[in-house]
A and B are shown apart, each in its own frame.
Chain A
Amino acid sequence: MGGFIAAFLLPVLIYLVGIAYPLGLWPVANGDPTSAILNHHHIGTLFLFVTVAGSLYHGIFRFQSTLTEIGLARAKRALEAIGYLMIIIGILATAIYLLQYNPSFFSLP
């Protein structure tokens, strides 16, 4: 599932917040995309949570697997522990920050 999210949703997020906004390119020449996305309340907040949490899970999981395959097999358990800790903290932090920004997320639209 993380791979699906990283493949289909992450590229557009990287383009919007990381390239189009700072370089003034279409479609966010006149405003920051994170605010625009979060102003769509439920669907925008959900999009950011799913994209960031799914990509974080996929990226860290694949990267720690790669490290064990290139000679760090002896540290496999430690790498897995660090990786899963980063994933859990990252996903919880994403949820908390998004709820801080949109405290009424769980109320009906």
Chain B
Amino acid sequence: MIREWTSFFVAVFSLIYIYELSLFASGAKDSALALMRNPGIIAFNVLALLFTLYHASTWFYLIGKVQPIKLGKTASKPWQALLINIVLLLIISYAVIQILILR
């Protein structure tokens, strides 16, 4: 049940960011940046990141449980799916940072 409640943070972060995009689009960039520097918003974002990672991790584990990959006589374990998907998450995150921020 905790896993389902974490989707609240996913939805609210998306709505806050859509509002920030509206400020960017209307030329009020300073207001958008001031919003993201608000201590309450920062605290919410820290919680949102933790809950999003929890939501993702439990999903990775469930994938391994529901759809184990069969290799010969053995089948993959849920923790192996969790590990592989966490590595994939780190690679994708670094690729996004490298392509869209650092380049």
Contacts and interface: CB of A to CB of B under 8 A. Distances in A.
B7 A59 contact: yes
B24 A55 contact: no
Given A63-B7, A98-B21, A15 B89 contact: no
Contact of A12 (B21, B85, B93): B93
Interface residues of B, number: 50
A9 B55 contact: no
Contact size range, A: 35 or more
Contacts of A62: 4, 7, 10
Contacts of A47: 96, 100
Contacts of A17: 17, 20, 36
Interface string A36-74: 111010011001100010011011111101100100000
A56 B15 contact: yes
A14 B45 contact: yes
Interface string A1-30: 001001111111111111101110001100
A8 B100 CA distance: 16
Nearest to B59: A7
Given A58-B7, A66-B4, A43 B36 contact: no
Given A10-B10, A60-B11, A97-B25, 6 more contacts: A11-B53, A18-B45, A34-B24, A44-B100, A66-B7, A97-B18
18 contacts: A6-B52, A7-B52, A9-B96, A11-B49, A12-B97, A15-B49, A15-B93, A21-B36, A32-B29, A32-B33, A55-B14, A59-B11, A63-B4, A63-B8, A66-B7, A69-B4, A94-B21, A97-B22
